[in-house]
Amino acid sequence: MKIFTANWLVLLALLSACSTMSESPGIRYGDSSKEYLSELHSWQFNGRLSLTAKDDSWTAAITWRHIPSKEQIKLAGPLGQGATLIELTDDGVKIDRGNGDVQSSNAPESFVNQQLGMFVPLRSLGYWVLGLEQPLQPSQQMDEGFLQNGWYVDYREMQTVGDQVMPRKMTVMNDRVKLKLFIDQWVLDGATRR
């Protein structure tokens, strides 16, 4: 019995060590270096996403990988069920649900809207997840975020990633859709940082 209890204590200690992140209480959205973020060539994050609309809601694990001219967004339900890969390029979007039927469109946001059943501003979101406003679009600064293109982008919690300040918890919403994003891990220009 003592060996069994000791094993559980070791397991709990290991799990708590694995889940630690670089939390920095008191870091605010305004502390991020927008110049550095706008110069990133590649980045990736892993996290969790929830989408809520008037008549629908769902949650998923998310991995978003950005390389120049391409966004790859993988969404998966519990235990990887229902994995969907969205590939967004300058020319359009491809959606692969893993069943061999890859669908594509040259109207990305309306196509994704049709597939998800709710509108998600993918092109803008590629900037917003970094803590940046979409270039060449008017925006209005708020205490912990900004308003842009009819969406309120609220950075609820920031985290240190190496020597940078990056979003950890954020909410993007308008009068029809609310998207919550919790980012567990960032990879900036090829270096993994937590």
DSSP track, 57-80: EEEEEEEEEEETTEEEEEEE-GGG
Q: Which domains does the chain have, with CATH numbers?
A: 25-193 (2.50.20.10)
pLDDT at 112 over 60: yes
d(CA 155, CA 27): 11
Beta strands in the chain (DSSP E): 43-53, 57-67, 70-76, 84-89, 93-96, 102-105, 139-142, 145-148, 151-161, 164-173, 177-188, 191-193
pLDDT tens by residue, 121-133: 888 999 999 999 9
Q: Token digits for 10? A: 């070791």
Cα of first residue to Cα of last residue in the chain, in angstroms, is 37
- The answer on pLDDT for 52 being more than 90 is yes
**The pLDDT of residue 118:** 76
Residues in the chain, overall count: 194
Model pTM score: 0.80
DSSP class of residue 134 equals: P
More confident residue, 20 or 175: 175
Average confidence (pLDDT) over 76-94: 85
Computed over every residue of the chain, the mean pLDDT equals 81
Q: Which residue blocks in 19-149 are alpha helix, DSSP H?
A: 34-38, 108-116, 122-128
Q: Is the predicted pLDDT of residue 10 greater than 70, yes or no?
A: no
Residue 4 clears pLDDT 90, i.e. is over it: no
Under 8 Å CB-to-CB from 85, ≥6 apart: which residues? 72, 73, 74, 95, 96, 98
